[in-house]
Amino acid sequence: MRTRIRTVALAAALTTTLVAGVTAVPAAAAPAPAGASCTRTSPSSPQPGLDTEALAQALRGLPDRDTTAALVRVGGQETWHGSAGVRSLKTGRGPLENARFRAGSTTKVVTSAIVLQLAAERKLDLDGTVQHYLPGLLPATFDPITVRQLLTFTSGLQPGASLGAENAEGYENRFRTLTPQDVVAASAAKGPYEGPDEGPGKKQRYANIDYTVLGLLIEKVTGDTYAHQARNRIFRPAGMTHTAFPAGPDPRIHGPHHRGYQRLANGAVVDATEWNMSDRWAAGDMISTTADLEKFLVALFRGRLVPQPLLDAEMFTVPDIEGARLSAGLERRDLGGGRIVWGKTGARPGYNTLFAADRNLCRTLVYSVNAVDAKAETVNPAAQRLVQAVFAPGRR
């Protein structure tokens, strides 16, 4: 079985180097926005350059017990592209740098951006309620839930229907269809969370249900399908030519892709590439590439998809709730020393995804890691090494 690492890097001096046996070649960088400061203290005291040796080391040894392949793009002031592992355990052929993959919950950021566009167009009000826009969706036992509370995971809705854990009965049910309407109906039937500290706006709980409801809201407000709105409002403006949603219950990934694998509870590793993800929909159904997600990240952070005032107020502001770390679709991470990174992860059987950057795009990271336990509570080791190599303290 072969393992291959291919990288493209841009050093500050635009030189060609050899890093730990990995050939690095100059490439075009995606510069930080005009006026952005990419130093911690002053222009005379810049942060160390990108550690390409650490990045190459993070990918070495693939495939291993936890990961079959990885695709990586680092951007900002310096760029680096890497791939390692195999596209299929059966054939042992090397990775595809343009491979498509299930991007999981990074879909939520697309959904959030659509909702904020509609708010900017005054087609909906972020302080308007689910009960107003989607009458009859929730029983009268629910307090009013605002659109903003859905965006920030503070709605108080309980999780909806599921086909089971991905490493158990979920795998056996992978070709079954569970519609978004079914998911929401099951949540509504459970009723709201109960307790003195419960209710809309009081707690932040990360869950798919909020964004499933937002998908229904988008369709109701626009009179169009969620997928068509995403294509017209996000994918085309951002130049995401290889990003799409499956056609309903279609379990396939069309175009070049890596096989995804899932380790079951009994220890067996099975091919999980084909899987009906229709229940994830506006919360996690997107198929994309690392290059397309990088385009989305840059376009979003630069204010080309969401108007700057809404971008700052909603996507780069965390609600004033104890323990909150999620904004309208993004997650805020404090790396210390005044450095904040914003991004989003995604996990579907066989596929782990992340895009992240500091606010001024001085450094960006996008990866797709083919993890055999993508939904595990612990971070995939290869993914953890990549994040450390790119965003460790002192690296910018």
Supply 321's token pair: 């709730």
CA-closest candidate to residue 210, choices 316, 111, 317, 330: 111
Residue type, 76: G
Residue 258 CA to residue 255 CA, distance in Å, equals 10
Alpha-carbon dihedral 322, 323, 324, 326, rounded to 10 degrees: 180
Distance in Å from the first CA to the final CA of the chain: 35
DSSP state for residue 106 in the 8-state scheme: G
Beta strands in 155-226 (DSSP E): none
Q: Is 278 noted as a catalytic residue in this protein? A: no
83, 105, 112, 187: the catalytic one is 105
CA-closest candidate to residue 28, choices 291, 304, 394: 291
Beta strands in the chain (DSSP E): 6-9, 17-19, 22-24, 67-76, 80-85, 101-102, 261-263, 269-271, 287-288, 331-336, 339-348, 351-358, 363-371
CA-closest candidate to residue 221, choices 329, 105, 128: 128
Q: Which residues are catalytic?
A: 105
